[in-house]
Structure formats: structure tokens, C-alpha cells
Structure 1
Amino acid sequence: MSEPTTPNLFQRLRYIAGGKLPASMSQWVIDDLTGPGAARRYMLRVLIPIIPPLCLFLLIPGPLWMGLAMMALLYLPLIYFTAALMYVFRRARLAKHGLDPALADHRERERAASAREVYERAHGRGTPPGGA
């Protein structure tokens, strides 16, 4: 029987909490951290679980706006730092799973190479028309 290549529910929850998956799931980890929707998944995994504890501020006596303001004072910087540290986080997760951290910016490098090729063609520096 071959090893599974995608995590079950328990493994996925452990992975979201920072745990390591077996080596047989390396491709799934790469796709999760660098594939389409990786940024959205990362942001949601950090920003959604913190909402219930922040709602405890609504239990503090006083006007509703005061509890909401206290929540915002914590949540807005969290959003900023979560987005700012996304690249660092992805590299660390790849390294933790024994994968090359350079995979974190693989898609960006492909996009930059494609844009450079288009630029060079447009400005006469690329392959001449006719492909010779």
C-alpha cells in the first residue's frame, strides 16, 4: 500500500497549527505554499482563528464602539504584519518540511522572466522575428 499524498483532517489541522507532514506529502505542501490561492489561504489561516478571542473585548462594560475599537487596535496591525511576513513564513514552512526555501518565490521568478521576455521583444532585444 502506497503512502498517502494528501493529508487527512487530523494531519491538515496539525499542519495548519505548524506541524510537519510526512515526506510523501511534499508535493501537497509545495502546492499549498506556492500554488494558486496560497496567499489567501495563509491570510485566512492566521486571521480567522483570532476573531473569537478578540470578541471577548465586546464583553467589557461600556459602549459597543469601545470594544470594537480595542479589537481593531489589535486586528489591524495583525493584518499588516501577517501580509508583510508572508514570504518569510512560506520559506520557513518549506524549510521545515525539508524542501528548498527558494520554491517560495519560484512563481514570481517565472512571472518576472516572462515579463522581461515580453519587454525585450517589444524593444528589439529578444529573438528576432522569424526565430533565427
Structure 2
Amino acid sequence: MKPSLPQRIRYICGGTLPASMSDWVLRDLTGPGAARRYLMRLLIPILAPLCLFLLIPGPLWMGLAMMALLYLPLIYFAVALMYVYRRHRLVAHGLDPALADARERERAAAERAAYERRHGR
């Protein structure tokens, strides 16, 4: 079941969805494209207020430089805190926070099994 438009807007702004939508939340936070969706939800809306720097009198490069001084660290910290954010959102929806890195654990287990097969352990 997918959330309605008002539910989706509330979800994007940090609200929680009903327990009946836990599967959708899990797919949204841990499924394919989760990192892309997270970054788009955070980085695209902030561009509108940053464009106000372009209204400051002076050369265009100055407004763009001021935008970059705020936007580049935002990108850095958004990527750095993505895992923490996912775990927080899973806990807020009553899901196990360990699901945030389930794919990485599966990949590590597969690598370990392949290593043991190759080297006879």
C-alpha cells in the first residue's frame, strides 16, 4: 500500500506513517534507490532558498560562491549521516534499526562464504 499525497508530504517532512505501511517504509529506506531518494528529498528543496543569494547585488559568481559555501557542506554531511538518518527513521516507524544495513551484512556474508570456499576453511 502506498501513502496518499498528504501522508507522503508528512513523511518527507519527518512524520511517521501508519503501521499498515511498514513494508512501504522499509522499501523506501532500505530498498534499491534509497540513497538517491534520500539525497533528492534533502538537496533539491533547499535550492530555492539558496537562490536568494543570487539577488544580492554584485557579480553572479559571488552569489554562486555563497550558495556553494552552504550547499557543498550540506551534501557532505547529508551523505555522512545517511546511515544514522535511516536507522532513526526505521526506529520512528517501529522497525528494527538493524535493517538499515541488511544488504551490507548479506554482501559481507557472501564474501566470507566465497573466501572460505576458495581457501578451504
Same fold (TM > 0.5): yes
Deviation at 1:35, TM superposition (A): 0.4
1:91 and 2:87 matched: yes
- The CA distance in 2 between the partners of 1:62 and 1:118, in whole Å, is 60
Provide TM-score, normalisation by structure 1.
Answer: 0.90
Higher radius of gyration, 1 or 2 = 1
Q: Which has the higher helix share?
A: 2
Indicate the percent of aligned positions where both proteins have the same amino acid. Answer: 78
1:57 and 2:53 matched: yes
Of structures 1 and 2, the one with the larger relative CO (CA 8 A, separation 6+) is 2
Which consecutive unaligned segments of at least 5 residues does structure 2 have? none
Deviation at 1:41, TM superposition (A): 0.5
Task: Show structure 1 runs of 4+ deviating over 3 A.
Answer: none
Partner in structure 2 of residue 38 of structure 1: 34
- The CA distance in 2 between the partners of 1:42 and 1:119, in whole Å, is 33
Provide TM-score, normalisation by structure 2.
Answer: 0.98
| Matched residues, number | 121
1:24 and 2:34 matched: no
